[in-house]
Structure 1
Amino acid sequence: MSFSLWLTLVAVCALGAATPGPSLALVLRHTLQGGRSSGIAAALAHALSVGVYALLTVLGLGALLLGQPWLFKTVTLLGGAYLFWIGFQALQTRPTAIKPDEFNPDQQRKAWRDGFLVGLGNPKLILFFLALFSQFVSPELDWHGHLLIILTVMLIDAGWYLVVAVVFSHARFLPWLERRGHWFNRFAGLILIGLALRLIVQVLLER
Structure 2
Amino acid sequence: MTVSAIDFAVLTYTLGLYAAIVISPGPNFALVSRLALQGRKETCRGAILGLAIAATFYAVLAMIGLATLLNEIGWIARTVQIAGGLYLIFLGINGWRESDQGHGPNSNGVSQAGKSFVGGVRLGTIVNLSNPKAIAFFVGLYAVAVPLDASLETRIAVLVGGAALELSWYGLVSGILSRGPFRRFYQAGAKWIERVLGTVLIFFGARLVLNR
Q: Name the TM tier (shorter chain).
A: 0.7 to 0.9
TM-score when normalising by structure 2: 0.86
Partner of 1:15: 20
Residue segments in structure 1 that go unaligned for 5+ positions in a row = 99-103
Partner of 1:95: 103
Partner Cα separation in structure 1 for residue 95 and residue 77 of structure 2: 27
Partner of 2:7: 2
Structure 2 counterpart of 1:69, which letter? G
Structure 1 counterpart of 2:103, which letter? P
Contact 2:29-2:170 within 8 A present in 1 as well: yes
- Give the drift of 1:116: 0.6
Give CA deviations for 1:153-189 in whole Å, capped at 9, x if unaligned: 1111111111111111112432222222342222111
Partner of 1:146: 155
Superposition RMSD in Å: 2.0
Partner of 2:109: none
Matched, 1:85 2:94: no
Number of residue-to-residue matches in the alignment: 198
- Give the drift of 1:34: 4.2
Name the SS for the 2:115 alignment partner: helix
- Give the drift of 1:138: 2.9
Partner Cα separation in structure 1 for residue 105 and residue 186 of structure 2: 9
Partner of 1:110: 119
Structure 1 counterpart of 2:42, which letter? S
The change in CA–CA distance for 1:106 and 1:126 in structure 2 (over 3 A counts) is closer
Name the SS for the 1:138 alignment partner: coil
Contact 1:32-1:185 within 8 A present in 2 as well: no
Percent identity of the aligned residues?
A: 27
Contact 1:34-1:107 within 8 A present in 2 as well: no
